[in-house]
Amino acid sequence: MMFDFLHTLILFLLCVCWMGPRGMTSGNLSHFFLLFFFLFLCDFLFFFLSFFLPFLSFFFFFFFSLLLFFFFFSFCLFLLFMFIWPSYTVRGGGRQARRIVFCLHPLYLPMTVDTTLFCFETNRGPRTRHDHDGDHCRHARRQQARSGLFHLPHGPLRTPIFMPVATQAALKGVTVEQLEELDVEIILGNTYHLGLRPGEDVLNEITRLKNLQESAAKGNEAHESQPLRIRNNMDGIHFLQGWRRNILTDSGGFQMVSLLRLAKITEEGVRFQSTHGGNGGGVQMVQNNNNNNTNNSGDNNNNVAFNRTEECMEYTLMLRPEDSIRIQNAIGGDIMMQLDDVVHVLTTGPRVEEASKRTVRWLDRCLSANMNPDKQGIFGIVQCGLDATLRAECIAEMVKRTACKGYAIGGLSGGEAKDDFWRVVAQCCKGLPYDKPRYCMGVGYPEDIIVCIALGVDMFDCVYACRTARFGSALTSTGKIQLTKKAFANDMRPLDPACNCRTCNSFTRAYLHLIATKESLGSTLLSYHNLAYLINLTRRARAAIEDGSFTEYVQNFFVSYYPKRNYPQWAVDALDSVGIELL
């Protein structure tokens, strides 16, 4: 009896090792049970027949010995996958390693790595030989910076990453080809603006044409003509702007602050006065007469909400959580942000708690409204201003919504003290799940990005790079410089000797001073450089994390960016909280 139990246990463990640690998922359990049943059946068959045909007993013991050998062999591969594979795949060498293990693995049974969409693999870098020493060990435990690989429909996202902002499907002064030249992996679009122009009708028409094209390609006759050819893997806003990579769409919640005088917020949603005065792109149509009676329009093709007065026609847009997600589904963003109730970061009192709890309720409505959850993931947004208690409650509620593909830290970069800023970021990073990306919204200053990476943030966005370029400012490794100053009129040095972008390789500071704010080319060249600087900043941070030199990278950045060593105290305190001491 004990022999039979031991025999069955070995079969079970063999199957576990054969499947691999990442193969034991719900999608592969059927493979596991089939494998276990097959081995058990073969073993039982040999064992049963050996009673009637004694010469088969040799085959039974041979088969059992072979199973033992495979068990120990597979157990070694199991350990290989557990302790070596995860960090290796994050660094980009996983495909070759997988090919080697497949060749070694008996019967080529599925030992698959989970690369399903929205899977986020993280890595805090290699262990060093000092990790078990006193100070080094304490530092290793406190380090929060991590690199990651986030699998998205239009290609993987390597984090930490800076995301350029194309609010209305375009970056001011920068073309799509230039973004591809910089190897940008994701850009942002804004639901409020894209919902107004071009609107849902145009975006849905592109998707309809793509579906017709795919249907025709499969051999089915399309009943309607196709006036344009939709490029592969491109629909919605991807096609309109010719962008083949990932897009993150903001929900329109930020406009509650930036357009506060034009917005009215209720539990139902937020009602905006349109800044475009035109097609509202797919949200509720409401007509208000002089007596303020509200009626639903019967025109289903024009979904703009508007108010009519005797003097003029004014358009308003009613944006509910369901409307925001529906528009984002039409836009085709790979990552969609929930509609959140945004209040200014310095707001205090009951309004902050109301916004926090409403944001959680709206998240539930957003998740329920998503019509394409397999290819468009939703990020939840942590709100609550500077109130640590309310923010902790919001985080606790957010992490319960496991359908979220990631989480954003919202409500910051609105004029709060930097000391408050980093403490909120640190609190959120400690409370949010480790296995999902963290996105700090609206952060674009180089020193802010470096500090937030050290605290555990993965994704950043800001209009700062292009906006400051239009005023003649350039971000360099030695700090920001204002090229409109006369001091640069005869400066023949490259813009930033440490930068290898096209602007720095081709133009001098003197030339950029000449055209900085006088010619549109000046804005284009500086925008291109500033984007290159921030993208390379996060890219080098990722490389430093992966090779174990992130502390040195942060120290060298601050020494270069602040040559006089006049570091801001908030940055010193923030980095000290994660064990990084500036030089």
Please tell me which residue, 433 or 302, carries the higher pLDDT value. 433
- Mean predicted confidence (pLDDT) in 107-135: 61
Residue 301 has pLDDT above 50, yes or no: no
* pLDDT attached to residue 317: 74
Encode pLDDT of 395-428 as tens digits: 999 999 999 999 999 989 888 999 999 999 999 9
pLDDT at 24: 42
> What total number of domains does the chain contain?
1
Query: In angstroms, rounded to a whole number, what is the distance separating the alpha carbons of residues 124 and 116?
Result: 22
DSSP output for 232-270: TT--HHHHHHT--SEEEEE-STTHHHHTGGGEEE-SS-E
Is the pLDDT reported for residue 245 higher than 60?
Answer: yes
Q: Quick check: 379 pLDDT over 80? A: yes
- Model confidence band, residue 345 (pLDDT cutoffs 50, 70, 90): confident
- Let me know: does 407 contact 381? Beta carbons within 8 Å: yes
Q: What is the pLDDT of residue 196?
A: 84
Q: What is the reported pLDDT for 525? A: 97
Q: For 355-443, list the strands marked E by DSSP.
A: 377-382, 406-409, 438-440
Residue 54's pLDDT is 65
Range from 138-147, 421-430, 526-535, 540-549 carrying the lowest mean pLDDT: 138-147
pLDDT at 418: 96
Each residue of 187-202: pLDDT tens digit?
Answer: 999 998 898 889 888 9
Residue 101 lies in a domain: no
Task: Answer yes or no: is pLDDT of 537 > 90.
Answer: yes
Higher pLDDT, 282 or 271: 271
The pLDDT mean for the chain works out to 78
Q: Establish if 222 belongs to a structural domain.
A: no
Whether the predicted pLDDT of 101 surpasses 90: no
337 domain-assigned: yes
User: Three-class SS of residue 88?
Assistant: helix
Which two tokens mark 2?
């004990």
* pLDDT in the model for residue 184: 97
Q: What is the per-residue pLDDT for 255?
A: 66
The 3-state DSSP class for residue 378 equals strand
Whether residue 345 lies inside any domain: the answer is yes
When pLDDT is averaged across residues 148-173 and rounded to a whole number, the result is 94
Provide the pLDDT for residue 124: 84
Instruction: Name the more confident of 514 and 93.
Output: 514
Distance of alpha carbon 9 from alpha carbon 17, whole angstroms = 12
State pLDDT tens for residues 305-330: 333 333 333 456 788 999 999 999 99
26 three-class SS: coil
- Is pLDDT at 143 greater than 50 in this prediction? yes
Distance CA(583)–CA(213), nearest Å, equals 60
Share of the chain above pLDDT 90, in %: 53
pLDDT surpasses 90 at 462: yes
Of 209-218, 465-474, 517-526, 528-537, the poorest mean pLDDT is in 209-218
Residue 90 is predicted with a pLDDT of 36
Q: CA-based angle 107:111:113, to the nearest 5?
A: 155
- pLDDT confidence of 151, banded at 50, 70, 90? very high
pLDDT number for residue 354: 94
Q: Where does the pLDDT of residue 271 fall: very low under 50, low under 70, confident under 90, or very high at 90 and above?
A: confident
> Residue 438 forms beta bridges with which residues?
407
Q: What is the pLDDT of residues 62-86, one digit of tens each?
A: 666 666 666 566 666 555 555 444 4
127: left (phi over 0), alpha (psi -120 to 50) or beta: beta
Omega cis (within 30) before 494: no
- pLDDT score at 132: 46
pLDDT given at position 411: 87
Angle between helices 350-369 and 388-400 (to 10 degrees): 10
* Residues annotated catalytic, as ranges: 250, 461
List pLDDT tens digits, range 15-42. 555 554 444 443 444 555 565 566 666 6
Q: Which residue has the higher pLDDT, 427 or 12?
A: 427
Separation of alpha carbons 411 and 386, rounded Å: 9
Please give the pLDDT value at position 263: 75
Q: How confident is the model at residue 507 (pLDDT cuts 50, 70, 90)?
A: very high
pLDDT tens digits, 160-169: 999 999 999 9
Predicted local distance difference test score (pLDDT) of residue 228? 55
pLDDT of residue 309: 34
For 551-577, the pLDDT digits (tens) are 999 999 999 999 999 999 999 999 999
Does 383 fall in a domain? yes
| 413 falls within a domain | yes
Three-class secondary structure of residue 197 per DSSP: coil
Per the structure block, which two tokens stand in for 354?
């109301």
Q: Amino acid letter at 506?
A: S
* pLDDT band at residue 298 using 50, 70 and 90 as cut-offs: very low
CATH code assigned at 527 = 3.20.20.105
> In this predicted structure, what is the pLDDT of residue 424?
96
Q: According to the model, what pLDDT value does residue 533 have?
A: 98
Domain around 339: 147-209+232-273+315-577
In angstroms, the Cα distances linking 266 to 340, 341, 394 are: 12, 9, 19
Residue 416: other Cβ atoms inside 10 A: 16
Question: Does the reported pTM lie above 0.85?
Answer: no
